[in-house]
Amino acid sequence: METEVKKLNIDINEEEKKARELINKQGLRVLVCNGTGCIANGSNEVIEKFKELGADVGILEENKKMVTVPTGCHGFCEQGVLVIIPDFDITYVKVKPDDVEEIINSHIKDGKPVERLLYTDPKTNLHVYKNEEINFYAKQSRTSLKNCGEINAECIDEAIAKGAYRALSKVLEQNNPEAVIEEIEKSGLRGRGGGGFPTGRKWRFTAANRGGKSYVVCNGDEGDPGAFMDRSVMEGDPHKLLEGMAIAGFAIGADEAYIYVRAEYPLAIKRLRIAIKQAEERGFLGKNIMGSGFNFEIHIKEGAGAFVCGEETALMASIEGERGMPRPKPPFPANCGLFGRPTLINNVETLANVPVIIDKGAQWFSSFGTEKSKGTKTFALTGEVNNTGLIEVPMGTTLREIIFDIGGGIRNGKKFKAVQIGGPSGGCLTEEHLDIPMDYDNLIKAGAMVGSGGLVVMNEDTCIVEVARFFMHFTQNESCGKCVPCREGTKNMLKILEKIVRGDGEMKDLDTLEELALAVKEGSLCGLGKTAPNPVLSTLKYFRDEYIAHIKDKKCPAGVCSALKTYKINEELCKGCTKCARNCPVGAIEGTVKNPHKIVQAKCIKCGACIASCPFKAISLV
Amino acid sequence: MSTDTSCAINYKKVDDIIASIGAKKQNLIAILQKVQEEFRFLPQEAIAYIGTKIDGLSPAEVYGVATFYAQFSLEPKGKYEIKCCDGTACHVRGSMPVYTYLTQRFNLEEGKFTSKDGLFSVETVSCLGACGLAPVVVINGKVYPQMTTDAIKIVIDTLVAKEQEG
């Protein structure tokens, strides 16, 4: 293809310089995390307090003024509200509105850091000042999440100052879609939504149908429970996503795009809307972008709560206003997708990696990761670890590094038992897998998958059979009902798991469970059904003895399954304070004041409220 | 407050919503979302009405879409909509005792999710993406982090007291 270099009417370097000057003029920047997690912890109140007290801060020679910048998610949600002052190279954690005055008076005015608000390393018990020295951040390399937590997502200049739209400007200037596709292919980027399909190849397939109307669709229907990286990108650095989409649109010859965002993410929807409007006003989206003649319009579609819509054909049906049900492939979306036109569907994180690949080159990107899985991957680290939150590490990082270095180990000194990777489509891995380098292929080999990147860590108190039941309940609930193997298979698998958890299981149930699992895996129409049995299969493989304990010994080794346990009050320890009886939601505890109480087992629903309420530790599980 | 699902509705409002979003089949989900926001649920009349107002749709198809997505409710929701997150992270950190507490406090029978006085509705959702704060409960959009049975009791007590004060 012969291409001519184009002269653009916007000089992005000039724009970047101007944006930087604007930011420098702001003075001392106080970054307050304003992601969903920190908002729940009161970040809006902290921001208000800073604004209220910050006006008259006449401090520091160079910094005449102070400005509060609400940023996207910084990832360390557990320690919210996070306050970062980059000029002082300091990170404060768990900041409450009442702490703001002290930060301003002691640190900003007097230069004395407020030690009690610093992060304390659980291993050394020492205060940590610098962000990059906090164990949670030390081993990360943030690419797609880079700006999240550093910029105000609702202000386009902040993004431009960090290099937003530089990559788009580059491709429009060079005016060679083929070269863009080649660069993405060379980078080795693979789909971050779960499947790991090579992104460049997908672009090439769609670009082959260039000529008529085609679409770019961004899959922001992050339905996997336990994963929230896409939410963070959309909330924290929306321009990166928009830029990635525009580059994709240019490469495949599309002029219209949709972002499908799940309705559970209202803040992401709001910030994307603002970002699209600002980008259009500045000429980075819309008609004749930067004077190149390339048009690209992005719409937002709100989902309505259906997990299966994360599957690409179901997602397109949902955008068209129908029930979100998948259809057989082929035809693939690259040939016949949205409204019957060629369509490129990529996940949020995949698209967020595009600008940096174009900007820094495929070679830079592929210097991270393993041989077949390049770049970095975000993981949502949750469950029973000390540091929960969102992380980004090079592909090939081991689970041990993630859980014990970044995650700071298991909470309350408990023992690691398993980690569930990839949500309801993934599997449970055990101690023996802690040292395998995590990439697409190694995880598949171990019986799990990268999936969306949810990592839920479980300790010795987690019942694996109950977790398998939990996932099966989820997929059964979310099965759309179109194909029989998934609809009926998941239902029957769930029935068996419920039976085992109830203590009514028989040994032959395990065989049936395995047989059904394979049938559902083989026979289902879409990814939901094909992967639904994974949690069951992997737990049967690695924790079979726990299933057997439920079936043969009628015992739950973790002491979780309520049908297999009873609550008892120790008469010697009970002081008859009546607190348990008052807290029991079903009135199952009898007794008079100052006399030992008793639990009526027939009424007890085994909720555990009494254990939590007893001040004398007189109630226990037997 | 009545929990009757067939009541006379203000069709003018439905018309306005359709007009503001555009009477196109691809806008159906957005229209239903707005209608639900307006009435706090999808009244049967509105479903049938939308089906006749948009080309290419029938009331049955609208009903099909309305019942497919978890977000839509054909029953009125409570004044306080309580969403108990039961995603993986919340589940392993104990979301179920919190949920059980709520269903018992409001005497919700199997299959019912709104309290008799219409004040509270309780449902589980699969993941709100606030896993770092597990387990979370969301009440009318406000996120309550790290819930326990004791903590949720205080939250509900406060709301009930607020209602009684009027």
Contact A238, A153 (CB under 8 A): yes
pLDDT computed for residue B1 by the predictor: 43
The mean pLDDT value for A241-246 works out to 98
Please give the pLDDT value at position A349: 96
Residues A56-99: tens digit of each pLDDT = 554 444 546 788 999 998 889 888 899 999 989 999 999 999 99
Cβ contacts (< 8 Å) between A301 and chain B: which residues? 29-30
> With contacts defined as CB-CB under 8 Å, which chain B residues touch A264?
125, 127-129
- Regarding the domain delimited by A156-365, which CATH topology (the fold level of the hierarchy) does it fall under? Rossmann fold (3.40.50)
The pLDDT value recorded for residue B7 is 56
Span A304-328, pLDDT tens digits: 989 999 999 999 999 999 999 999 9
Residue B26 has its nearest CB partner, among A80, A222, A320, at A320
The whole-model pTM stands at: 0.91
Q: Give me the residue spans of the domains in chain B.
A: 11-68, 80-165
Name chain A contacts of B93, Cβ cutoff 8 Å.
383-384
Which of A227, A302, A320 has its CB closest to that of B33?
A: A302
pLDDT in tens, B6-35: 456 889 999 999 999 999 999 999 999 999
Alpha-carbon distance B120 to nearest alpha carbon in chain A (angstroms): 18
Task: Please state, in angstroms and rounded to a whole number, the distance separating the CA atoms of residues A506 and A192.
Answer: 40
| Amino acid A55: pLDDT | 54
Give the CATH number of domain A464-551: 1.20.1440.230
User: What are the residues whose beta carbons fall under 8 Å from the beta carbon of A100, sequence distance 6 or more?
Assistant: A46, A49, A50, A53
Mean pLDDT confidence for A117-139: 88
A280, A241, A235, A270: which is closest to A258 by C-alpha? Answer: A241
* Cβ-based contacts of A338 with chain B (< 8 Å): none
Q: What is the pLDDT of residues A374-423, one digit of tens each?
A: 999 999 998 899 998 899 999 999 999 999 999 999 998 999 999 999 88
Q: Which residues of A touch B150 (CB under 8 A)?
A: 612-613
Residue A2 has pLDDT above 80, yes or no: no
pLDDT reported for residue A428 = 92
Q: Do β-strands B137-139 and B80-85 pair in parallel, antiparallel, or remain unpaired?
A: antiparallel
pLDDT digit string (tens) for B62-119?
Answer: 999 999 999 999 988 899 999 999 988 888 888 988 999 999 999 998 888 899 999 9
Candidates B126, B143, B152: best to mutate against A (most CBs of A within 10 A) is: B126
Say whether A224 and B32 touch across the interface (CB within 8 A).
Answer: no
Give per-residue pLDDT as tens, A327-351: 999 999 999 999 999 999 999 999 9
Tell me what pLDDT residue A58 has: 44
Same fold, B11-68 and B80-165: no
Question: What integer pLDDT is reported at residue A489 of this predicted model?
Answer: 97
Query: Smallest Cβ distance to A305: which of B70, B130, B134?
Result: B70
**Which CATH superfamily does the domain covering B80-165 fall into?**
Glutaredoxin (3.40.30.10)
Residue A304 forms contact with B (CB below 8 Å): yes
Q: How far apart are CA A531 and CA A475, in angstroms?
A: 10
Mean pLDDT (whole number) for A483-510: 96
The answer to whether A252 contacts chain B (CB < 8 Å) is no
Domain definitions of chain A by residue range: 19-138, 156-365, 376-459, 464-551, 566-621
Q: Is residue A201 a contact partner of residue A187, using CB atoms and an 8 Å limit? A: no
Of B24, B92, B128, the CB nearest to A456: B92
Question: Under CATH, which number does the domain A566-621 receive?
Answer: 3.30.70.20
State how far the alpha carbon of A406 is from the alpha carbons of A192, A236, A409, A410, A421, in Å. Answer: 21, 21, 8, 11, 16
**CA nearest to A136, candidates A206, A78, A68:** A78
Instruction: Check A384 against B104: CB less than 8 A apart.
Output: no
- Which pLDDT band, with edges at 50, 70 and 90, does A236 fall under? very high
- Residues of A (560-619) whose Cβ lies below 8 Å from B: 583, 585-586, 605, 607-609, 612-613
* Predicted pLDDT of residue A59: 43
CATH 3.10.20.600 fits A376-459, yes or no: yes
- The yes-or-no verdict on residue A237 having pLDDT over 90 is yes
Q: Which residue has the tokens 């008259």?
A: A56
Question: Does the structure show a pLDDT above 70 at B2?
Answer: no
Question: ipTM of the predicted structure?
Answer: 0.88
CATH 3.30.450.40 fits domain A19-138: no
Predicted pLDDT of residue B109: 87
Q: Which residues of A touch B29 (CB under 8 A)?
A: 301-304, 318, 321
A424, A475 Cβ separation under 8 angstroms: yes
More confident call, A566 vs B119: B119
pLDDT score for A28: 86
pLDDT in tens, A134-188: 889 988 999 999 999 899 999 999 999 999 999 999 999 999 999 999 999 999 9
Write the class of the CATH domain B11-68: mainly alpha
Is the pLDDT confidence value at B127 over 90? Answer: no
Quote the distance between the C-alpha of residue A62 and its chain's center.
Answer: 39
3 state SS of A559: coil
Please judge whether B130 and A607 are an interchain contact, meaning their C-beta atoms are less than 8 angstroms apart: no
- Nearest CB to A324: which of B68, B143, B150? B68
State yes or no: pLDDT of A496 exceeds 50.
yes
The percent of residues in chain B predicted with pLDDT above 90, rounded, is 69
- The answer, for B63 touching chain A at a CB cutoff of 8 Å, is no
Which alpha helices (H) appear in A459-506, and where do they start and end? 464-478, 484-502
**Interface contact B92-A384, CB threshold 8 A:** yes
Contact B101 A607 (CB under 8 A): yes
DSSP state, residue A572: T
